[in-house]
Amino acid sequence: MRLVDTHAHLFWEDFESDLEEVISRARNAGLEAILNLGTDVDTSRACVALADRYPVCRAAVGIHPNDASLHESDIGGVMDRIAELLEHPHVVAVGETGIDLYRDQVPLETQLRFLEIHFELARAHDLPIVLHNRQADREIREALLKWDEGVTAILHCFLGDVAFGRWAIERGHYLGLGGVFTFPSSSLREMVGEWDRDHLLLETDSPFLSPVPFRGRRNEPARVADVATAVAEALGIPPGTLARQTTANAARVFSLTDLGGPADLSDSGT
């Protein structure tokens, strides 16, 4: 299977001691790209450094909504530094940004101020935007209505209902499916068939959200193969078919030209 992990955080110290092995397991599992997303300026820089060091890695840069309050006093300065990082050739998306109303540490107003600037940067740099959404379906929807003109969004770790997913896809956006999909309690399995497969992406959110049967342990990009198998099973299609399609989707939305683009993704994996 040729796969892309569209959401990882390999810069965390969880990977400090064995990153080489994590990357080589990912390569052996068929991963052609791993997108690491920054959560603040330092980790965004770390994502760029990983992309410089490992050809399989790409970077996204942004301020995570849970980190927004740390930077509240200097939003302009912080976002200028993010904007500088966007010039780097291995940066393929803006993020991780979004809204988190679960942790309740950062006022919604602050989160929205950051989010709006991320949208502006995505538009100006012609890059997609990766959105974190925790208990904020309504707010994310409103943000898209206000700011998504000319910007394609990836709703990472999508946990919304069928209608929200369909609405987002109709606006041209993409849904990221990860380890949660494999949990026995997940209703995503019944929903996934309702969504246009051309707008589905696979992800791990490493080191978080390990799929079954690794739940509770450190996650790593190789396990996107387990997500692919679970999603394919739910759709009743061969995993290779799903892998090919979602890899083509990732190549399209993140402009991963060295993956060959959609025209080149015609091998039939299993």
Total residues at interface with Zn ion (CB under 5 A) = 1
Cβ-closest position to Zn ion: 96
Angle CA(34)–CA(36)–CA(38) in degrees, nearest 5?
175
Strand order in the sheet with 3-8: 3-8, 31-37, 57-61, 91-100, 129-134, 153-155, 174-177, 200-202
Report residue 5 as tokens. Answer: 């992990």
Q: Please list every residue from 36 through 55 that binds Zn ion, using CB under 5 A.
A: none
Minimum distance from CB of 9 to Zn ion (Å)? Answer: 6
261 φ/ψ sector (left φ>0, alpha ψ -120 to 50, else beta): left
Instruction: Identify which of 189, 132, 139 has the alpha carbon closest to the alpha carbon of residue 162.
Output: 189
Q: How far is CA 106 from the centre of its chain?
A: 22
Minimum distance from CB of 14 to Zn ion (Å)? Answer: 13
Minimum distance from CB of 236 to Zn ion (Å)? Answer: 29
Instruction: Give the N- to C-terminal CA distance of the chain in Å, as an integer.
Output: 6
Minimum distance from CB of 52 to Zn ion (Å)? Answer: 21
Of 143 and 157, which CB lies nearer to Zn ion in the complex structure?
A: 157
Token pair 């955080």: residue:
9
Of 96 and 100, which CB lies nearer to Zn ion in the complex structure?
A: 96
Q: Please list every residue from 81 through 140 that binds Zn ion, using CB under 5 A.
A: 96
Of 207 and 239, which CB lies nearer to Zn ion in the complex structure?
A: 207
Minimum distance from CB of 37 to Zn ion (Å)? Answer: 6
Of 96 and 139, which CB lies nearer to Zn ion in the complex structure?
A: 96
Of 66 and 247, which CB lies nearer to Zn ion in the complex structure?
A: 66
Contact residues for Zn ion, defined by CB under 5 A: 96
